[in-house]
Amino acid sequence: MSEDNFSTWDDVPILSGLGISPQPLFEAFKRFSEELPGKDIDSQKPANMSRQDYLAMLALQSAEVAGVLYRKNPKAHETKVHAWLSSAITKAKRLSLVMEVGYKGISQQDIIAILRLSLDPANTVLLPTILAEQYGVVLVIQPGYTSMKMDGCVLKLPDSRPMIGITLRYNRYDNFWFTLAHELAHLCLHDDQLDAPIVDDLDEAVTQDIEAEANLLARDSFVPRREWRILYENRYSDARLEQMCTSLSVHPDIVAGLIRFAAKDYKLYPRRHRTVDVKKLLGFADV
């Protein structure tokens, strides 16, 4: 990489005036330049911003969250995760500044009420506003980088307000809503463990108790255990799925996804696969 790539950082006195040491910025800029593919940069940056300016912005944002440590997944792409977290946390901090409702905790009943919004896909767009105004939680929905191996995250911001991030890793209704449920479960169960972000790859085998607990509470919030046993035993019956989901006020695409995953049989419920284009719904159709 030539020195010309650092032209964005020529005005060092400005950085000094901000109280930011230039060296970490140079290093972050260099790492992002070398490890983020051009197609990833183009998918994330504003149309009127150059790649170099976008990388410079990412480096500045990474300096803002430089003290943030997170539980690393050895199979994840660390630089991409760090870049995504830097951008998402910066956005969440700005949103938190103008939020009027304080965070008072999340119960399982709260989670169930939120998940029932899934019945109408149009509610998906309203979720950031609903979580902010009714629960005091920042929800950042921001597409991730390719091959990042991250579905979502949950953490406490410096002002102690919780933030949930969703990467739209898979463009599926069940994946979106289960990721949200899983992160809400962490808030409910592990509020005292969120000073370091929990970064979740829901494809990974569960090896930690807190992940198993969050998975179980998330599933139970969609389908109580008694009903889950009935559904699983009758998993080849589309009629039973539709009937149970109607009685539970949960979208059948989500429950179909849960059963497919549990049974490791991805041919189940073919009519309930990708019926909702989540990215298009949220305005990310071109990402």
pLDDT at residue 8 in the model: 42
Domain final residue, candidates 64, 84, 110: 64
What is the pLDDT at residue 7?
43
The CB-based long-range contact list for 272-276 (8 Å cut-off, 24+ gap) reads 272/238, 272/241, 273/172, 274/171, 274/172, 274/173, 275/173, 276/121, 276/173
Q: Quick check: is 234 in a domain?
A: no
CA distance 27 to 175: 35
Regarding whether 83 and 123 lie in a shared domain, the answer is yes
Q: Are residues 36 and 76 in the same domain?
A: no
Whether the Cβ atoms of residue 274 and residue 171 lie closer than 8 Å to each other: yes
Q: Are residue 84 and residue 205 in the same domain, yes or no?
A: yes
Domain holding 24, by residue range, is 10-64
What is the reported pLDDT for 171? 94
d(CA 197, CA 71) in angstroms, rounded, equals 7
| Average pLDDT, consecutive stretches of 10 residues, N- to C-terminus, the chain (287 residues) | 42 44 82 90 91 91 64 69 91 95 96 97 97 98 92 94 96 97 97 89 87 96 97 96 95 96 95 92 83
90 and 51, same domain (yes or no): no
Are residues 58 and 134 both part of a single domain?
no
pLDDT of residue 200: 92
Reduced DSSP (H G I as helix, E B as strand, rest coil) percent helix, strand, coil of the chain, to 5: 60, 5, 35
Residue 66: its pLDDT value, please?
Answer: 57
Taking the model in full, what pTM does it have? Answer: 0.87
Paired tokens of 69? 């440590």
Residue 113 exposed, middle or buried by CB count within 10 Å (0-12, 13-18, 19+)? middle
